[in-house]
Amino acid sequence: MRLNELSPAPGSKKARKRVGRGTGSGQGKTSGRGHKGAGARSGAKAHSTYEGGQMPLQRRLPRLKGEARGRHTVARPTLYAAVNLGELADLSGDTIGPEELRAAGLVRKKAELVKILADGEIGRAVTVRAHAFSGSAKEKIEAAGGNAEVLER
């Protein structure tokens, strides 16, 4: 096999459409653009947002008021990774903190803050260390004889 014997697979290459080459070609005269109208003209083709001279939707709607559109004007809320008490019952050890939760796959990101929620029961006395606790979660941990330690952010 030589370089001059190589050719593409049959049907993989398609010849480009040559428009405006006479009426006998099938793409002559108007070159497939029809008669008159925006589609027949050179320049900007009518696109999906064009409404045929009607006032476009994005111009009919009122603008949003406010200091800085798109930018946060209020403080961003603190986001926590939520962990339920029922999930803590499956973990072993006397102390459960963010590191143990990450190792168990209950918290994904390294920098994520952890909040313990009260769904489920914890049947034994454990020390739970997290950045935040719901009120009922704290009560359930202490009722089981455990301790809830709030960590610094």
Is the separation of the CB atoms in 121 and 89 below 8 Å?
yes
Beta-strand (E) ranges in 9-141?
Answer: 80-84, 95-96, 113-117, 127-130, 132-133
Within the chain, how many helices (H) and strands (E) appear?
A: 4, 6
pLDDT at 71 over 70: no
At residue 95 the predicted structure's pLDDT band, cuts being 50, 70 and 90, is very high
Average pLDDT rounded to a whole number, residues 81-103: 90
For 112-128, the pLDDT digits (tens) are 899 999 999 888 899 99
pLDDT at 141 over 60: yes
Helix (H, G, I), strand (E, B) or coil at 144: coil
Using CB atoms within 10 Å of the CB of residue 43, give its burial: 0 to 12 exposed, 13 to 18 middle, 19+ buried.
Answer: exposed
Domains and CATH numbers, the chain: 80-150 (3.100.10.10)
Spacing of C-alpha 90 from chain mean position:
31
pTM of the model: 0.51
Any idea which residue has 């993989």 for tokens? 12
At residue 72 the predicted structure's pLDDT band, cuts being 50, 70 and 90, is low
Among 126, 120, 45, CA closest to 86: 120
